[in-house]
Amino acid sequence: MSSRTRPFDSSVGTKILIGITGLGLFIYLLIHITANLTVFGGPAFFNGSADTLEKLPILPLIELGLLLVFVLHIYKTVTMYFGNRQARPVGYAMKKGAGHTSRKSFASSTMIVSGLWLLLFLIIHVKAFKYGPEYDYQGMRDFYRLEIEALSNPLIVAFYVLSMLVVGSHLWHGASSSLQSLGFDHPKWTPRIRVAGKIIAVAIAGGFSVIAVWAYLVATQVIL
């Protein structure tokens, strides 16, 4: 094994790598929700924005990079999880809360579950949108129509909203945890970073949920 990659196989190195990839995915979600909010501007504005991104020469490299970051994040998280399980093969007889000063929460305790759920969601999401029908809108791909049609089914909308709650839960702990793994842990700044991370996590999950519900209402002509 290369000496350049060996440090990342240690416990500390694994946490750092998870922190770096997690922070990268967090930044991507911020960009993604910002781009998706343009759907409220109507089909011309939304499709125009999407078309600009689609025509970026480096888009394939960006997508490949995101895929590698995502796979690496999952791989390292899963291997760390099972490594910790092997180190403690017998669970605690009784789990107790660590008090109000503890950073342990429902979100932190279910990170592996929420992460695997999001993997399933991502596969479904990419299949529906990236490889969905190729509608045309004034010489551009009609992502607006694609989104409205994809979210016209109430069961799909329910799945999306539930998945966004999982996203929020994952980011609730993951955002601040990533920074902590990278050494940004200071008595003065850490509490503010945690609060900011939680606010952004709620904003991202809430934003995507609102888009899904809005698209369903448009599809069913409840709102126009």
Least confident of 52-56, 76-80, 117-121, 158-162: 76-80
Q: Is the pLDDT of residue 188 over 90?
A: no
- Answer whether 216's CB lies under 8 Å from 151's CB: yes
Cα–Cα distance measured from residue 201 to residue 23, given in angstroms and rounded to the nearest whole number:
12
For the stretch 25-31, contacts whose Cβ atoms lie closer than 8 Å and that sit 24 or more positions apart, written own/partner, are 25/66, 25/69, 25/70, 25/73, 26/171, 26/174, 26/175, 26/178, 26/200, 28/66, 29/167, 29/171, 29/204, 30/200, 30/204
Q: What is the pLDDT of residue 86?
A: 74
Pairing of strands 136-137, 140-141: antiparallel
Closest CA to 201 of 163, 172, 181: 172
- Enumerate residues 6+ apart whose C-beta is below 8 A from 39: 46, 144, 147, 211, 214, 215
Q: Is the pLDDT of residue 108 over 80?
A: no
Q: What is the pLDDT of residue 1?
A: 45
CATH T-level assignment (fold) for domain 8-88+108-219: 3 helical TM bundles of succinate and fumarate reductases (1.20.1300)
Kindly list the domain boundaries of the chain, sorted by start residue: 8-88+108-219
Q: What is the pLDDT of residue 87?
A: 66
